[in-house]
Structure 1
Amino acid sequence: MTHFATRLVRTIKRPFVLTALVLLPLGWGAVDAFAKDHAFLINTSPSLPNWAFWLDKHARIERGSLIFFEPPASRLVEVHFGKGAQLFGKRV
């Protein structure tokens, strides 16, 4: 590298690092707030139409929408789906 390029990299590097240190917590907070209200689910069952689902946890449940829930613990669920069954998805 030439002397000019080396000097330029050193000059730009410090403000870039300081800016990143300031913006990182701000970006992290925004992502965390978004994650509290949304979910991304991967479908492993052929019974639902898509391979993945993007959910808004506070969306209104209307006819035709998909809902996901944890089934109550019961012998029937354990026999058919095993212990610790995953979320169930159904169309309303």
Structure 2
Amino acid sequence: MYEIWSLGHKPFENYTNQKCLRMLDSGFRLPPPPGCPRSIYEMMIQCWHPDTGSRPTFVQLVSRLSLSDAKLLSTVSSDTTAIGGPLETGHQLYTELQNMYQ
């Protein structure tokens, strides 16, 4: 989902595998890509839960993604920039979700 909303950007592209693991172990999660609705980012965060048993199942994800576009995309923040904007702009979006596992 991250790659789709970031228009193909590779997650953690500027970090080594070891650095990524340390960041994830400390609770860091990727910020939302520009233009990403809160509902989509919430799904990403849930999929990145440190406890694998707490992650949504495939059936749950399909159910949520099957909602109408209006319901699924209705939570776009007024602070959200356009899709394809600089990735750094996502650092200020949904910070309470970004810091959920810290």
Q: Check whether TM > 0.5.
A: no
Higher relative contact order (CA 8 A, sep 6+): 2
- In our comparison, the structure showing a higher alpha carbon Rg is 1
By percentage of residues, which structure has more strand?
A: 1
